[in-house]
């Protein structure tokens, strides 16, 4: 009896752990990510596609799950977007161009007010070559700004909630870069 109970508990724990994370396009998105004392939970994930290329797998991490895009954009709470490049067609130049295009969509073409911050952010991706398998985490920390990590190493910090809103608008605005990715990130 005792042996059966232990086996049942172990089976539950193993299956619970497997369900808590998400594997998409051979990339495993952990159930939680942590920075300092802040732990965020996986809200959802998806694949950024362009033409027939699967460019990256992304995961949205929040303090509490939501299906509301406006909440993701506007919340002055810890938020993170984690992406792992899954295509060799991505490089520093075309990735930087895609980021600029994404800000244009997010801000409805009115990027002038944030262009210096956008340029600084894009510079983060131009400093080192973007390669298949790289993992980037874009953490918004209230009162600090957006911290960009590449493969676990802090690369830049861009201050301001205004920048966070524009950045997360790339994926969650009314005109996102990829509607299917937006739905996946919001858990739909």
Q: What order do you get walking across the sheet with 135-141 strand by strand?
A: 32-35, 38-50, 53-62, 79-85, 135-141, 145-150, 153-158
Which has more confidence, 88 or 1?
88
Buried b (16+ CB within 10 A) or exposed e, 74-100: ebeebbbbbbbbbeeebeeeebbebbe
Residue 97 within any structural domain of the chain: yes
Residue 164 within any structural domain of the chain: yes
Residue 18 within any structural domain of the chain: no
Q: What is the pLDDT of residues 79-131, one digit of tens each?
A: 999 999 999 898 899 999 999 999 999 999 999 999 999 999 999 888 889 99
Mean pLDDT of 158-186: 97
SS3 for 78?
Answer: coil
**How many domains, in total, are found in the chain?**
1
Residue 82 within any structural domain of the chain: yes
Residue 9 within any structural domain of the chain: no
CATH number at residue 48: 3.50.70.10
Residue 151 within any structural domain of the chain: yes
CA 115 to chain centre: 21
First-to-last alpha carbon distance for the chain, in angstroms, is 42
Asked if the model's pLDDT at residue 1 lies above 80, the reply is: no
> Is the torsion defined by CA of 122, 184, 76, 108 positive or negative?
positive
Structural domain of residue 175, as residue ranges?
23-185
pTM: 0.87
**95 neighbors 130 (Cβ within 8 angstroms):** yes
> Is the torsion defined by CA of 18, 22, 26, 28 positive or negative?
negative
Q: What is the pLDDT of residues 7-51, one digit of tens each?
A: 434 344 444 443 479 999 999 999 999 988 999 999 999 999 988
């Amino acid at each position: 009896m005792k042996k059966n109970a232990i086996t049942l508990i172990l089976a539950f724990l193993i299956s619970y752990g497997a369900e808590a994370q998400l594997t998409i396009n051979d990339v495993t998105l952990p159930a939680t990510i942590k920075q300092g004392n802040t732990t965020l939970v996986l809200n959802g994930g998806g694949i950024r596609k362009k033409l027939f290329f699967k460019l990256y797998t992304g995961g949205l991490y929040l303090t509490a799950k939501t299906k509301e895009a406006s909440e993701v954009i506007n919340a002055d709470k810890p938020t993170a977007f984690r992406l792992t490049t899954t295509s060799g067609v991505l490089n520093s130049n075309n990735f930087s161009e895609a980021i600029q295009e994404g800000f244009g969509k997010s801000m409805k073409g009115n990027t002038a007010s944030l262009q210096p911050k956008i340029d600084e952010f894009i510079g983060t991706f131009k400093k080192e070559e973007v390669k298949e398998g790289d993992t980037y985490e874009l953490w918004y920390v209230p009162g600090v700004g957006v911290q960009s990590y590449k493969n676990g190493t802090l690369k830049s910090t861009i201050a301001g909630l205004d920048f966070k809103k524009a950045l997360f608008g790339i994926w969650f605005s009314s005109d996102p870069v990829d509607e299917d990715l937006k739905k996946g990130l919001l858990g739909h």
